Amino acid sequence: RYKLTPDATASIGAIIDKGTTVELRSKYNGRLTDNLLQWASDEMNQRLPLDASGDDLVTLSKADLEKAVVRFVTAKPPVKQDPLLLGGEKVEDLRQLWSP
């Protein structure tokens, strides 16, 4: 139940577009958003004073999002692998081999 500051709301699309590539957005899709919000929350927690309260505790700023997208690009989450997929490791190896 995060809230965004007005400038964060106005800028979130541009922040994602500028800070990521089409390939990353396609590959991570919803995970990008999940990670972006989690890491923006981490940034918010670092920025807030110890006596913060109320909406300050759930309001992400434009700067929080900008720092989070940089973190996403530099620390890309690993691709999830389905452990139940028969031959999953071999399939992943071949996928990596055939990827451009």
Question: How open is the CA angle 48-13-78, to the nearest 5 degrees?
Answer: 75
**DSSP letter at 78?**
P
User: What letter represents residue 100's amino acid?
Assistant: P
pLDDT of residue 25: 87
- Burial of residue 60 (CB within 10 Å: 0-12, 13-18, 19+) is buried
> What's the CA gap between 19 and 13, in Å, rounded?
10
The reported pLDDT for the residue numbered 17 is: 93
Lowest mean pLDDT among 29-33, 35-39, 75-79: 75-79
Residue 92, pLDDT above cutoff 80? no
The confidence score (pLDDT) of residue 73 equals 80
| 77 has pLDDT over 80 | no
pLDDT, position 94: 74
Q: Which helix (H) or strand (E) holds 3?
A: strand 3-4
pTM for this structure?
0.71
